[in-house]
Structure 1
């Protein structure tokens, strides 16, 4: 077989210790597995005490041996010319101790020892020592290749043996302690007692103990046999481990000399002698096996927890770095939650090896157990601390079995290294608008603004890494999460849920300031947002919020709806529904943006009528629009948008109106948001701009208007109609006015007296609706029925009748001057003079009829024309009584007030019949009316009717029937039918009351 060179390669554990009762053991381990241990007086604890593996390995009677296929492999030995039958291991090596030269308690060092047999078993031993414990741990992985010759009768056996020295007394007593971790060992004489006092219990004090202690039994691969303890062992005379014979503890026993396997005899010496100890593990099938045991020199007490565990991210800067510390009862790393120590009180501190200049810890020590199962220690490095170090737990009140273990980023690490970079600490962050100069320090006038934003419009800004002083960390690198946080109360930087987030990575070329690489685009509105920046590191991430806040507003009001018909298809003058001017109607405006809870307003100056209003008389124009009153409630802030409604809006005009651009607006959503965007000028005051304004100053880039408005002219709302009509400037013109005051009158049945008045279309507040004109007018002034006339105080049978004359008037600017002629029919019975009120309740067919209003009071007289008989000489003109009468106080009185009724003069030639009294005496042809009233009208009620004289001898009579107006007829012949007045005229006859016809005196 081939062998490696015997050049020694030896590692040291606890190279600076092993010289006192408190600084632990000092181990030398050779690649061939020969070991020396020193303590106190710095002399060896195993035989030979003066020998070291690197100088005189053949004087050390210890080592690991492997029996494989009947041959023994392991380090050569000088005892009785002992040499393994198979020779030295085919390959063997050992790694350097890691970490090197521990400086304080709790640091565990490890080294990997590889042992190989060509074509056969391969062993890896991980030697582990934690200063200042009293034992060395061997964690063994043994691999028996598939197909290798191995069985119950031909096992592969792993031996480890020592010639003990027991701290200067080479003689000792054997001991075997059973339990979950079996102990096989020897201890120094207690006063030279022989036989030994106790072989199954450890002495309590006053002695040196050297032993093997089982830690983890071999694993059980498929086909293997699991064992709970050592397969075999011995504590006997030192030479018996290298020479065959009784008590059969030799590592080279022949099969025929001791059982079929040649195992150790499990001898425990009870006689004080120069002792040695050994253990063996047997394997009878191919596979990979793991097991572990301790070589104990000193106390055999096993620590009650396995390791101290430090969790961190593997690196640090000059920023505070949080380390999490815990104690674990399991050897599993990371420690399972159920194995974290949660009782008692274990104290200690965190240290670095080598010692780092300027590093501090907060708190300076930790306390684990029932009070805290885990504790955070903040490491603060300094510029001089840059370098790579090993973390370990120091000053422990109780030492662990396996020292310090580390978990970096959630993964167990072979070493506890941490690298400290000389990178200035980013102790906080700032967010601000791109392109603006950074201000430090920050004051009310020295700001780093974040401007108002728009919903559904992407935006970016800059993120700055800052030192505690506020100076930009130009060398900052790393990944951060940039979050937007909604602030509903006092400034808070630890709100649990972000509105939106994105990662941003700083590189060296960013110089500590970087613009977001992706847009934030928020679909909702927010009154007050703050930027939060958080480092993407596992421990002690720096988290900071921006100094400024900002508002995200809706872009505009996207819809304006109403129960007033917004009929943009026609704005017809006959459209429905109709809303009386001044009556309530609803308006709802919506941004369609969740989060908007503002209070919209109306700009009265941006209302527009459907058409231009007419010019009133005198050239004076009416107001440009009607008055729109009412207010919106706060927006509903519902999930699908934000309707702000008002149910009591009133519009005081007729027709339609609409909102011009920004006629509905909100100038307080941002102002009332507590973001101070308006005060700070982070939006453009009084502006509705949705495009960032940079025209006046490049530093204004990114600013939008502070106001929200409707972006285009709205639909029309309406149709609005007058609420009612009012009557004013009313006068009465009687049918028969007299020259004297208070003597005007009209006859029943006369057509007719005239009412003059002004109609005004008004809203509910009794104000004119000036737009009630032209096409919006529905009032037919020529239709008598439009006025809804009625009368009060009329006698039975009288009816207010339509005149034959059509009413006149026209509408302009919501007003119309009206003249209407009336007549009141005669009552069914004779009626005294009476006053009758004329009322009107005008309606255009859409507007509700107004309350009846008395526009005039007419004096109505029941009248007739009276014609009386007349007698006289044919030689004189004959006056004929023909006058007007009216009924009053149940008497017929001459109507001396009537100077207006027209009279008709009788036409004798054609309309008056002459009846002669004899055949020879007759009126001359062409007898005429001598005269009537010169005006063709009554005079003080009298017609002044007179017939001309017929001349001498012309006697006879005339029957008169004079036509009069219907309202002056009377049923003269009885009955009910009114007729013209009639009478008889007699010439040349005497009166019945006189005895002579005529007396002519001749002078």
Structure 2
């Protein structure tokens, strides 16, 4: 049975008195009460048994303490107000459950370790909650600096966290509400998940888990950090400098992020758009139902998809992926980088100096590519396609419905095809076929390189539509099939394989890749020829060769050829063997020679099989076995057709001198070869050069003398083992500036192979760039250019196996390595390739900005006062004037490659100097190649200096400079702020004229260009009050009247006013007299005027550049320097001496 208050121990009487006083509405006793569950309970509470308690309205005093022994389930039917008391402070929250029908109140300093459910929660100030807080129907407010260890939960009410501080966040464990909102002010923290109806947050909030808006939106101001996914039914908005570790999803509306934000995952707006502020990083793809708009210098780590509208990427944006605009257009702004392709429903527009790694397709409209761009794939437009100056397209350009225009200095590595006209500007290049399928005018301005041109549809090649000069040759068309075999000899007992090559000209110097089908022919008098896989052949489009096997079963000569079915050849087939041409000789016995293609300088097994035709079939059988035979072995050069070195077989060089360093001479050597039981000899072969060799074998010695005649011819391809790269720069190179590298083809021993590059169709290398530094989300790949660079490019200028390329350039800052690979991918079609690299640590090049551009924003409109800070923007650029994004000092790149920049004066430098410390730009200020500082201050040595333009130069530790580039100027004037005495009636406000002035070299005059000077109210000092008789007084006062800008003084065209309100009397005396007014233009609390001390302290305006020699006329100390603040005297109700008259008082409006 519960004890009544009267029966409780006397020691607790003070507690009872306190609660009684509260219940009766009286003031509580000054002492603190201590309550215990169970035990001395608050007066409004009774025990209902089994650890449960029932209370009506309960109000504790701020210093009260409530202890729990064991556990307590407290149910309050009214309100609960714990003020600043300590409830279960030393206990666990799990031991106390509190249910409040009304509102639970708590105040600063309180501790409440319980799991609490109330109708509403109104917590003010810093309160420590050890458990969870929940409301059944109403709101839940958490005070400034409070901490809730558990979750905060409502059904439909709003959860509100008051603003914390940078050192004391208002913190809750997690937030949950079925339909209520979560309202975060500034410096709030949610340790876990937030799952509520909607979320609204101020600045500097931290959320440790996912954020989900079940009903509507998620919205945050600046500097929010979220460690989890963000999803909302309607929109998602994040302010500047947001950091989200996860995905963002809007189910029904849009996603907006302000500048300098980071999202590590994807962004999806299933309702409308995605809009990113500048310098935003997204680690994954972006998908929007309507448009996607990225701010400048954004970085996207995946594809961008607009399902029904457009995509617009800001200046300097980087996308690692492709762009698909399923509704309308794609706009790529200048200096953008896209590694994948661009596909738009309507048009594609690409601004200056961008890179697209893949293809560009405009499905229903146009493609416009502006100056200085690079496209790694094809460009296809349904309407016209226009390629502007200095642009490179590595694939084809096609307009299926209109014209193609190629502007000056641009290069198209593939074909150009238009339904109507094709035009090119001067110094442009079309390296494949230019075709007008509608036979419209084609005009190539000289000097222009066009590899070929055709008027009409594919398959035709007139040139009547070509206007002006030059007139290019006709485009490549199918001329004939070339039948190729290494020796033109074979055996009757084995299939003989020939290669069929489709040629676009008579000499087969250009291959045809349009696709060819036909049949191989082979016939000889009295000779039967079998085709093991059939005589038909097909060379698919995109390829230029195939193979066919045939087997004459009777010794003799057969004539080999090719008959084409589609398309029809312009000429008959040719062969690279036979006398007469195309005569293929077969014998019933001989040497079958086989050696796989291999790399130069490595030992390879040469297989020589002595075979003859079986007496019972067309198969080959050994001619002899288990015997040593003398065989004459000679070598010759097939491709290239000459050489400097000889192959070595079984240690013997195949020339008369027997020296591997000497060339093949056709004589060869007699070798004793051991044939095994299968009739096969396996000597070793090593060749230290490259190319295709022919080996000629014939039986010699006693066997030849006895009339046994066996011959054989075989070929082998020997490829380079690797490429070495040397001669890269040893000093820093300006980004985009040319540098040289020497490439050497070498064998397995590292020696140069002199025949590389001398092939009939010279083999070459392709150069590529791998950035070593910097790394990170903000790192830019830049563009690597030069001879041998590009998807279809090749460096072929090899002499004796060595080539030097001198026009390589990388447009970015950092370091990297060059990789050289065999351009064809298969040396002489052998399947062997080779490569080489400068390494993986940036050994090829260290690149710095080519130059800086310096922009100056004046401190005051179009001018800057001497000693006034002005804004300087420094932009790091490459030789092509593009921004070097990797010149960065933030954590977006590793390492940070920017350097501290020093500013100096160029023109008129002798007139003054920079203030100490103001002429340096910290390396960390650079973000994606651009740094802005607002601290530079240039001061004239003499205050009495006429206006001058001072040029500003920037130089960093690597010597990168703005010399010869854009250098802004500071339009300096030596200034002062002048205010004059004012007289007027005491019945109304008094206005004193103020003027901004500058020194002309002869006098101080009005500075009509000053529309910037603002003097705050707090910078004006009013003191030295005098009455009408000139005696010191405190009988009245006045104050500054704020102007329309809320300031004391605001300049307009160099003129302003300072207005004082009409005097306010403190006594019955007439409020007339004067007051001294000074304007504190410095930063200290005391002004530097020449008024007598003491003067009231003020908050300085920090505009010391407007100080001058004020006070020199009355002998004020220190006026030798221009360091005095302006001052004046305002006089109310007293005549002005210069007017020689009285001011008569009257009622005035």
Same fold per superposition (TM over 0.5): no
Larger radius of gyration: 1
Q: Per the shorter chain, which TM-score range? A: 0.3 to 0.5
When normalised by structure 2's length, the TM-score is 0.36
TM-score of the superposed pair, with normalisation by structure 1:
0.41
From the two aligned structures, give the one with the greater strand fraction.
2
